Amino acid sequence: MKTILVPTDFSEQANNALYLATQIARKSGAKILIVNVIEGIRNFSFNTMGESNAAMGEEVFLVKKLIEQVNERMAQLISDSMFDGIEVATEVEMGSPYESISRVIAGHNADLVVMGTVGMSGLEEVLIGSNTEKVVRHAKCPVITLKKKVSLEDIQNIVFATNLDSDQTAIIEKLKVMQDMTGATLHLVKVNTPNHFHTQHQMTEEFEDYLEKHQLKNANTNIYNEITEEDGILRFAEDLGPCMIAIGTHGRTGLLHLLSGSIAEDLVNHSDKPVWTMSMKHAK
C-alpha cells in the first residue's frame, strides 16, 4: 500500500476518516493524499452567459481567493500531531465531488480510499443518492466508509459477506491486506433468505471449498437466517460487536442499478460500523 486518499469537507465525519487513515498509513508506510472538492465552480475557459471580461475577471479573482482559503484550511488541518511521521499531501479540485475524486484516484493510482459519510435514508436516499455511494460503486481500489471515530486496534473482527457462488479472488486478496494489518479474525457470513434458501449441509460444503480455494487463515464460517441480506449482515455484525463489515459491490449503473439495487451501498448508508468495499467490476 503506497497511497491512501482521503476526501475532506472539514466535517467531523471527514476528520474521523482521516484519523483512521493516519493509523493505516503508520502501519503500512503509505502516504496520505487529502482532497477537497470545491463544488459549483463553473469553467472559466469560455463565457457562456456573455458577461464582460471585467465581470469574468472579478469572478476568477473570487475563485482564486476561495482556493487560497481552502489551502489555508488544509495547511491548518495537516499541522495536527496525528500526522507526525506520515508523508501527507493535499490537493484542491473544482467541480463534481464524485468526478473529481475519481480523477484523483486514477491520477495517483490510489491503493485505498477512506471516506467519512453521514448516510441517508428514505426519499432523500432514492432521489439524491450520495457521492460516497458513487465512489463505492466505481472506485478501482478498496474503499472504507465510516461515520464514527474508529481506531485500527478496534478492528479485531472483519465480517465478510459472501454469496459463495461468484469469483471473489481479487477482492479477497485485497481484504487479506487489511486482515494482516489488523490481525483481525475473518468471519465469513452467508445470509440465508426465503427467496434464496440453501440447506445447511449444502452451504457447509460450499464454505469448506471456499476456505480451501482462497487459503484463508484465522477465519470462521457462519450461516445467518434473515428476511433480507442487508438485515442479515447488519444483525450478524451487531451480534458480533465491534467490527468492520466487508463486501464486494457489483458496480452496476443506470436502469440495472435502479432495479437491482446494491447491498454494499445500502450498508454504507445504514451501518454504524466501518464498511470496506471493493468493486467486483474492477477486481479482475
CA dist 157 and 240 (Å) reads 8
State how far Cα 67 lies from the chain centre. 26
Closest listed residue to residue 112, CA positions, set 18, 35, 17, 5: 5
Residues 6+ apart with CB under 8 A from 28: 1, 181
**Predicted pLDDT of residue 175:** 94
- The predicted structure's pLDDT at residue 34: 97
Cα 105 to Cα 215: distance, rounded to the nearest angstrom: 30
Look at residue 45 in the predicted model and tell me its pLDDT.
Answer: 47
CA distance 208 to 253: 33
Q: Among candidates 191, 198, 177, which has minimal Cα distance to 244?
A: 177
Which regions in the chain score pLDDT beneath 50?
Answer: 45-52, 123-129, 253-261
pLDDT given at position 198: 75
Q: What is the pLDDT of residue 170?
A: 87
* pLDDT given for residue 201 in this prediction: 81
pLDDT at residue 181, as a whole number: 94
Confidence (pTM): 0.86
Residue whose C-alpha cell is 477486481: 283
The pLDDT, as a whole number, for residue 266 is: 82
Predicted local confidence at residue 42, as pLDDT:
59
User: Looking at residue 139, what is its pLDDT?
Assistant: 86
Per-residue pLDDT of 51-70, as tens digits, reads 445 556 677 788 888 889 99
